[in-house]
Every structure is written in C-alpha cells, then in structure tokens.
A and B are shown apart, each in its own frame.
Chain A
Amino acid sequence: MRALLNYVLLPTEISDFERKYLARMNRVGLVFFFAHLPVFVAISYFNGMGAISALLLTCAVLAGPTFAYFTFKNPRSLSLVFGFTAMLMGGLLVHFGQGPVQIEMHFYFFALLAMLALYGNPMSVVVAAVTVAVHHLMLWLYLPESIFNYDAPVWVVAVHAAFVVVEAAASCFIARNFFDNVIGLEKIVQARTAALDGRNADMRLVLDNVDQGFLTIDREGTLSAEHSAIVEVWLGKLPTGAKFSEYLGETNAEQGIRFELGWDEVLEDIMPLELCLDQLPDSLDIGVQHFSLSYRPIMNGEELDKCLIVMSDVTAEIERQRSEQEQLETLRIFDRVLSDKVGFLEFFRESDSLVERVATMQAELAGESEPDFTQLKRVVHTLKGNSAIFGIQTIAEICHEMESKIIEENCLPDPSVLEALQQRWVRIGKNLQALLGERSSHTLEIEDAQFESILTSVLERRPHEEIAQSIADWKLEPTKQRLNRIAVQAQGIANRLNKGAIGVEIEDAELRTCPNRWSGFWSSFVHVVRNAVDHGLETEDQRADAGKSSTGTLALKTYLDSDDFIVEIIDDGRGVNWPAVAEKAKQMGLPAENPQDLTMALFSDGLSTAVDVSETSGRGVGMAAVRQACEELGGRVSIESQDGAGTTIRFRFPQSTMSPNAEERLRSYRS
C-alpha cells in the first residue's frame, strides 16, 4: 500500500522545469475546457436539448477550473481539478449528446482519462476515476436500477468498471513515468550532475593535491576547462577556449611556437603519432622552476581525439641532479688540482677572465642596434672548450647553450643563462678557494733545480743583477709546462672521442713565455689540439685500414727559428680535406683559389667540415678564435697538410713577444 501511495503521490518538491511545464499545461487545459462550451451548446441545440441549458450547465462546470486557475498556487492542484472537471464534462456530453451516439459519447471519459496523463500526475487520473466511481455509487444509492439498466448482470457491470480501472491504472503508470523521465528529467539530471560533481570534486581533490598538473586539449589543441588547480599556479589563469600553444606561449613564447608547430605535425598524421608527440616540448623553465611535459594521446578508435598533458615540477629533481653533477665536478677539480695545481689555477684564472669578458660583452652588445657577436662567440667557445677539457661540464653545457643561441638564432643568450654561468663560476671559485685558501692566487712554486741554481748563485756571490734576473725568470712559464698540460688534455679528448690511446711527443727547447701575455693564446690553442684529435686523427680501425700504426700521434713543439718563436702541432692523421674546405669556403663566399686562400678559410669564422655539432667541435668557431689570439700577439698561422699523411699547423711569432726583456721585467721591482 505504501509503495502504491508513493507511486501515485508525487514528491512534494516542484522543480522549476515542472512548474513551467504545468503552468503551460494548465493554461492549455483551461482553454481546452472552455473550448467545450460552444461545442456543447451546439450539440445540445441540435439534439433538441436546449442551448441555454447547455450554456448554463457548461459554464457551471467551467467555474471550478477557472476559479482554481486563478487562485491555486500549487500547479499540481489544478491538474486534480482538471481531472474532476473532465469527468463532469463527460457527464454533460452524454446528456447533451442524445440519440443513437449517446453510448459512444462515453468514449469521452476514456479519452480524457488517457489525456490526463499529460499532467504527469497520477493523482489527476485517480481523481477522475474516483469521480466516476462516486458518481455511479451515488446513482446506485439513489436509484439502483439506473445503474444496471437493461437489467445488466453484475459481471457486465464489472467488465464496464474493469475498463475504467485498467485504463486509469495505465494512465497513472504513464503519468508517473512521464513525471519521472520527462518532467522529472531535470531532477534526474540534477541528481546525476550532483553525483558527477561529487565524483569530480573527489577527483579534483586528488588532482589538486599531487605535484603534477593535468590538462587536456582537443584535436584543435584547444584547452578543456577541466584541469588541476596547480596548473594555474604554475602557468597563470587558464583562458577559456584558448589553445595550449597560446597558454604556453604566455609563459615561454619559444615553447609555445614549438608546441604549435609540433601539434600541426601531429594532426598531419604523416609520421607515427608517438614520434610526433616526442617532438613536442618536453621541458619548461619558469623562473627558477623546472617542469617536464609529457603527452598521452586519448584515442577514439584509430583517431586521436584528445591529448592529456601531464606537467610535473621537476625542480627538485633537476636541482638534485645539478647538485650531484656539481659535487662530481668538485671532485674532479680536486683531482686536477692535486695532479696539476698550477695548470688548473692557470685555467681558472684564464677562464675567470673569460667569464668576465662574456658578461661585459653581453652587456655591451645588448645596447647595440646591430650587434656583432663574433667576439662573444669566440670567447664563449674558448671557455666551453677549456671547461670541457678540465672536466667542468656544467660550464661547458651552459656555454654550449649560449653558443647555440648566438649561432643558430643570431641573438644574445638569455640573461638568465649568463646569470647561471656566473653563479656556477662563483661556486667553483669558492670551492677552489676552500681547497687552496689564499695560495690559490699568490703562490709561486719553483722546481728543485731552480732552487739549487739560485742558492748556488747566492753562495758564489754572483752579481745581484744576474740573480735578480734569474729570480724574475721564475715568473715566466716554461712552454714545456704548457705543452705537457696540453698533451694530457689531448689524451683526454681522444679518450672521450673513442680514438683510443694516442702518443704525444713534446719538444719545448726549454723556452719560456710570459704567462699573462700568452694565456689567451694557450687558451685558444686548445681548439687546435681538439680539432687535431677530433678531425685529424683517425680511429684505430681507420688507421689500420690506412696501413698506419694503431696509435695516432701528436707532436707539440715550441722552438726558435731565426728570430721567430714557433708553436707547432703535428698529427699523423688523415690530413685536411681540402676539397671540402674549398666547397665550404665557396658556400660562404670566401676566396678558395689557392692554398693560402684555403688556409685563411680554414681559420675563418663558421667554417667547419664537421657533419655534426658537438660540445667538442663542429661549429667552425675555435679555429677562428685561435687565429685571432695568434694575431693579437703579432703572429701568423700556416698549415701544411697532405691527404692521409697528417697535418702541421704552425704559429710563428716574433721572438720579442715571448716575454718582456729582463730590464723591463725588473723595472717594476726597483725602488
């Protein structure tokens, strides 16, 4: 019984949709009943039942729903009145519809019982059915014969009633279903929306409390509204209907463009999807934060439908890796200092100067309308090469990034990159100072032989001028020291490039140079060494094929030739590929008519025969840098090379450039 009542009685709450629907239906219902008036009057008139009585009786019936329409606040109550009215109208119709079709007029009751289902209220049907039942009951009580006319048996009456009951039940069923699934659809949607909202809120709670940002884009690359809150914290407010490339571009224009181009490739569907997705930006730096980006396709069958973008804050991970890398570098620095303290300190001083020059040049170039990046490029390249040789990879990587920006985009590196370079360099300096203390910059170390020589000179009471000159010579750097250091570096480069062990022969002729004056040249000289190892010396297999010994050899020499100071590097490698140099030179618009032209071209900015660019070489910057360093000391460079027989690069300087004369060097010490 309770279930039946719950079925027939609607929930008390009336939704806005139901209210609007019933308002419209009640209006329609009232109009419908008023439309009965002329029809009934006409039927009554033509049946000889009298138009006036029809008019009055119909108006009397209409009074109820009209009254209810304007006074009832609950729209459902009006539908109950309509249920009752419908049955009264049926009675009038049967009365006015005299004649052969009077029985047929009873169809009106069944039609109206069905139509009442439109109100979506089973009670409206129930009221109508009860009205009919009460009507019959009243008649039966008043005149029993009036109900069972023509002496119909009880079962006939039961059949008669059964039709009403069955139709009323069916109409109630329809009304309730109409309410639940159509009128109540709004409630169903609300309930399901609430359930979805709940689930979304739960999911959102999860998404908003993880260190990853999630957002989705459709095929056009347009952002959907759903995303995890952290995304807006990282990238700013998510614009509605914007494309991800635009959103990304607000933070990092370059990555935004890269994504746009990459997404076009995804949509072109020419290359494999996974490959295209791999080409999309996978990292993003925002201030001091670092993020990784990954893309997960959401397929609809065979076709890409959407793409989930997962953004992760990897700052801590990057910092950890950087910290580990720096620790490893620090260990390598300690190792270098222990094995060649002087050499490392020279490198540090030279590189310190280079870092300062990079900062100065970048500041100057930033103010120029048409900046020439040649010098900056060479300095950065030299710093990169030396750092790589001394195992300071972090500096080499930063320099490589700066170099890429300068060469590939012909613009200044981002200030943040320069800042990173300076910060890293400062940390290296601090580590070095912590290791060596004040000795790092003011210590002069001498060999035993030098010590014994000067002691002997003093004991033998040699002239002061002579002793002073010998002591002043301590400040000059033996080229042997430089060449030995370069030899170690060359072997290290060969190892890194899988060229195997190489032999390095040194001939120094016991010459010395002024370290301050020559530091720039020796710094740049590393480019020549690197080129010789990288491009000159072959691999073991290639040497075996060429019928050479398995070990490549370099010869590093300093010597005097007449009045010239010579620095020479000789390799027994494959030799310079002059045709390739000539072709490159022509491409660059350089003269390439004779060996002199080709030599000049080889030392020109941007000329390289290398196929790939690496952190070691390949951009054609180093050779130009070393030529410049040579020329700054008044020297000149020449090259001798035979195909397959090796290369000799010779730097020739005036002897006077090796160091100031003795008098000049002592002058600053005299009181």
Chain B
Amino acid sequence: MGLVQSVVVPKTFLVKVGFALWATLLMVVVGTLMVGHWYTLPKPDKGDAVLASALSELRGPEQATAWMGVHVLYTECRCSQRVFDHLFSSKRIDALSEKILLVGADASIESRAIRSGFDVTVLTPAQLREQFALQSAPLLLVVNPAGEIVYSGGYTTRKQGPDIRDIAIITSLMQDNAAQELPLYGCGTSAELQSMLDPLGIKY
C-alpha cells in the first residue's frame, strides 16, 4: 500500500481563491477597456517628411494652391463614426479641398462621403502606416496653400466631446490665425498601437 495522501482543501479557501481570481481578472479587463478610451493617441509630427510627401501627393497639382483638409478616419472606430456623421451633415468650407483617408473598407461610408463631395482614399491600417506614417484616428490634418501642415490633431477639446471643431479650426487657420492643436482621442489603427491599448484583444 503506497503512501497516498489526499490533501483536503477547505471549501472556504477555494471560495476565497476563486473570488480573488475573479476580482483580479475583472480589474484587469475593465482597466484595459479604459485604457483605450483614456489614452491620448500619438499625433504625427508636422515636419514628418513621409507624411508631407504623402499629403502632397494626395493633394495633386490641380489643387496645389488651395487649402486642404485631410480627415483620417477609421471604419472600426466609434469616434471616427461621429466625425463621419459630422462631416456629412455640416456645411463645408467652399475654398477648402477636403479629403478623407478611410482606413478599412466600408462601402456605405465611402459612397456617402463621395456623395457629400469628399475625395475618399481607402486604405488599410498598414498602408496608412506605411504611406502616411499615421497610426491613429480620427485625425485632422490641415495643409496650407504652401503645402505646409499647419494643423495635426484631434477634433474635440475633450474626449469624445460633442463639439467637433474642424470648421472652426480650419476657418481660423485660413484667416491666418493660429489654432490650438487638440489632443487626439480615438482608436489606434496600427497593430502595434492596438496591441498596446488593448493587450487582451477585447476592443480591437
């Protein structure tokens, strides 16, 4: 007869352990959910050569002397959705050439954007990263007639704020007034950024 010892684990101990696991897991889950919302996304540097080059190519020669607004929007991002709705329902500036870099495929949005007079360029997150050196959305870029990026930032003064200020920002810039660059809240488009913001893969 071998020395077989059975270890009796108290029920209360199991309960405590189970409960501690539940609490820890949920703390982490909820914490990570919050990260995606609270994290201030990285904005591109206005002097970034790759971006400048890509924007120049995007503008094209026929609009070389016009103000250009570029909306970097992500179909999987709720913040980008609200900017879409805003763009399609607001009165746009006549002298402004506006383009949408649509990350991800969404035919409905694309057709709505075209119908609203926007030039739409559909990209994958990887293409956005490679061609424009961008990895977050929604991002507003404003390029003056000289081809300089005069604005690179978010749309709202606070996170998911209802007051989308793109018109005001662009108008101010077009009047040679300075515009404060707003923080960028939204979603990561690059795999690296998404991995950092959502390590558990719940959101993305």
Task: List chain A positions with a Cβ less than 8 A from chain B.
Answer: 47-49, 53, 57, 60-61, 63-64, 67-68, 71-72, 81, 84, 88, 91-92, 94-95, 98-100, 102-103, 131, 134-135, 138-139, 142-143, 145-147, 149-151
Contacts and interface: CB of A to CB of B under 8 A. Distances in A.
B112 to A, nearest CB: 16
B123 interface: no
Contacts, number: 94
B54 interface: no
A147 B38 contact: yes
B34 interface: yes
Interface in B73-109: 78, 81-82
A95 B183 contact: no
Contact of B183 (A91, A92, A149): A149
Contacts of A63: 22
A576 B35 CA distance: 127
B39 A149 contact: yes
A102 B160 contact: yes
A139 B35 contact: yes
B22 A139 contact: no
B145 interface: no
A91 B39 contact: no
A454 to B, nearest CB: 125
B159 interface: yes
A63 B22 CA distance: 8
Nearest to B22: A64
Interface stretch (B25-33, B113-121, B167-175): B25-33
Contacts of A71: 15
Given A49-B78, A100-B160, A103-B158, A151 B35 contact: no
Contact of A99 (B19, B30, B82): B82
B202 A53 contact: yes
Contacts of B26: 60-61, 64, 88
A131 B82 CA distance: 32
A91 B19 contact: no
18 contacts: A57-B33, A57-B202, A84-B23, A91-B33, A92-B30, A94-B37, A95-B33, A95-B37, A98-B78, A100-B160, A138-B31, A142-B35, A143-B35, A145-B39, A146-B35, A147-B38, A149-B40, A150-B159
B204 to A, nearest CB: 12
Given A67-B18, A67-B19, A151-B40, A146 B159 contact: no
Given A139-B38, A150-B158, 6 more contacts: A98-B37, A99-B160, A100-B161, A102-B37, A135-B34, A151-B40
Contacts of B34: 91, 94-95, 135, 139, 146
A139 B38 CA distance: 10
A415 B183 CA distance: 114
Contacts of B161: 100
A600 B38 CA distance: 128
Nearest to B154: A150
A149 B38 contact: yes
Contact of A47 (B39, B78, B158): B78
B47 to A, nearest CB: 21
Interface in B169-204: 183, 185, 196, 202
Nearest to B42: A145
A67 to B, nearest CB: 7
A49 B82 CA distance: 13
A88 to B, nearest CB: 5
Contacts of B18: 67
A602 B30 CA distance: 119
A131 B27 contact: yes
B19 A146 contact: no
A178 B18 CA distance: 32
A150 B40 contact: yes
Contacts of A92: 30, 33
A253 B108 CA distance: 106
A143 B39 contact: yes
Nearest to B36: A95
Nearest to A87: B30
Contacts of A147: 38
Closest 9 CB pairs of A and B: A91-B30, A100-B162, A95-B33, A146-B39, A146-B38, A64-B22, A150-B183, A149-B40, A149-B38
B84 to A, nearest CB: 12
A60 B159 CA distance: 27
B19 A64 contact: yes
A151 B39 CA distance: 10
Given A64-B23, A100-B162, A149-B39, A48 B78 contact: yes
A88 B159 contact: no
Contacts of B30: 88, 91-92, 95, 135
Nearest to A77: B19
A135 B19 contact: no
Contact of B29 (A60, A81, A134, A139): A60
Nearest to B81: A48
B27 A138 contact: yes
B19 A143 contact: no
A138 B19 CA distance: 19
B36 to A, nearest CB: 8
Interface string B12-24: 0001001100110
A658 B118 CA distance: 163
Contacts of A150: 40, 158-159, 183
Contacts of B37: 94-95, 98, 102
A68 B35 contact: no
A336 B39 CA distance: 127
Interface centre among B25, B38, B39 (most CB of A within 10 A): B38
Contacts of A100: 160-162
Contact of B40 (A68, A72, A84, A145): A145
B89 to A, nearest CB: 15
Nearest to A47: B78
B62 to A, nearest CB: 37
Nearest to B82: A99
B140 to A, nearest CB: 16
A18 to B, nearest CB: 22
A149 B19 contact: no
Contacts of A68: 19
Contacts of B39: 143, 145-146, 149
Contacts of B25: 60
Contacts of A72: 15
A505 B161 CA distance: 137
B33 A135 contact: no
A163 B192 CA distance: 36
Contacts of A149: 38-40, 159, 183, 185
Contacts of B28: 138
B183 to A, nearest CB: 5
